[in-house]
Amino acid sequence: MFWWTNLYRQVDAVPNYDQLGSLPYYGLVAIQQLALFSVPAFLFISGFFIAYAARGGSGSPSLSWKFVRTQIARLLWPYLLWSVVIFIADGLQGTRYSPLEYVKRLVVGEATSAYFFVPLLCQLYLLSPTIARWGKKMGGWLIGIAVLIQLVATGVLYLPLLGVAVPDWVYNRGELFFWHAIYFPLGTVCGFHYGRLKDRLVRAKWGLLVATVVLGALSILESEVLYRETLNYGWARGGLKFSTILYAIAFILFFLTLSKPAIPFKQAINQIGTKSYGVYLLHPKVLELIARVIYHVAPWMLAHQILYQPVLVAIGTGIPLLFMNWVMKSRAKKFSHHLFG
């Protein structure tokens, strides 16, 4: 919309911001913000799973370090493999780093910007034995501590609005667990106490729906206000805003109130869900490739976001799924665990 405008319009130079404030622009901002429940939901589900893995009857729940190592290994092997593939692909296009920089990028998840999630989840798995112990016996305290950490960490990002300087690197460290402190413990507590909590959530179902809608709208509004005030695209459009955090929590809790038949395309969603980690690992470069192809072959499509975005979504999801299905039917099936987790 801004950097490739010259491919479908007569403009003096790019980036061109003539479409700032247009209906397609706000449509993209809305889609971007309303999709930000995804990482919190994944963290919540991971915490929920920890509760099941740590169930210990009436005694204290426990997680062995063997379990923790297994979970981290399931994440790291595919992550390392596809990170190296991305480094090689970028190197062939002229983007190269020093050996130390490659190590740093692997540690913090910077092979591509989407990979921050893997170091983040590994940190939470390392904390999961403690989170599990607190989650069953002292769930209220655990949530209280997580909320406090979340408030402090997120509040730091707002300090420049009050005239307090904050280092730029703070806004680019989304892989650190305290920026996402609430979701994993919340999932763990819900996992341990789901029977009791579900009745309360169902009674609050319509309130949660209203909260989801209102907070989703506030996330869109705050995103635009912050972007215009700070020009900090990564923060304004990302998930580390108070409105977005509350929206994600409301969305997750409302989803828990839905009965199974109420979820459309449940079977298809479940099938994709089992392959979600593989799709996640493959989709960034697939999207980049498809965007480049359209750039050269069908630049007219860039003028029509209502067409261009569904194409990106369909292909960005479809190609990874097709590739994974092909691997599962080939001789490479025995390596699928290391390829896709």
| Contact in structure between 95 and 149 (CB atoms under 8 Å) | no
| Contact in structure between 102 and 113 (CB atoms under 8 Å) | no
- Mean pLDDT for 134-144 is 91
Query: Is a pLDDT exceeding 80 seen at residue 126?
Result: yes
Contacts of 275 (CB under 8 A, 6+ apart): 320, 321, 324, 340
Question: 46 falls in which pLDDT band (50, 70, 90)?
Answer: very high
- What is the spatial distance between Cα 279 and Cα 323, in angstroms, rounded to a whole number? 10
pLDDT at residue 137, as a whole number? 84
pLDDT at residue 341, as a whole number? 84
Question: 262 falls in which pLDDT band (50, 70, 90)?
Answer: low
Q: What is the mean pLDDT of the chain?
A: 91
Q: What is the pLDDT of residues 289-315, one digit of tens each?
A: 999 999 999 999 999 999 999 999 999
Return contacts of 266-275, CB within 8 angstroms, 24+ apart.
272/317, 272/321, 275/320, 275/321, 275/324, 275/340
| Contact in structure between 109 and 117 (CB atoms under 8 Å) | yes
Contacts of 32 (CB under 8 A, 6+ apart): 223, 237
pLDDT at residue 291, as a whole number? 94
Question: 56 falls in which pLDDT band (50, 70, 90)?
Answer: low
Residue 138 dihedral angles phi and psi, to the nearest 5°: -135, 55
- Mean pLDDT for 169-177 is 84
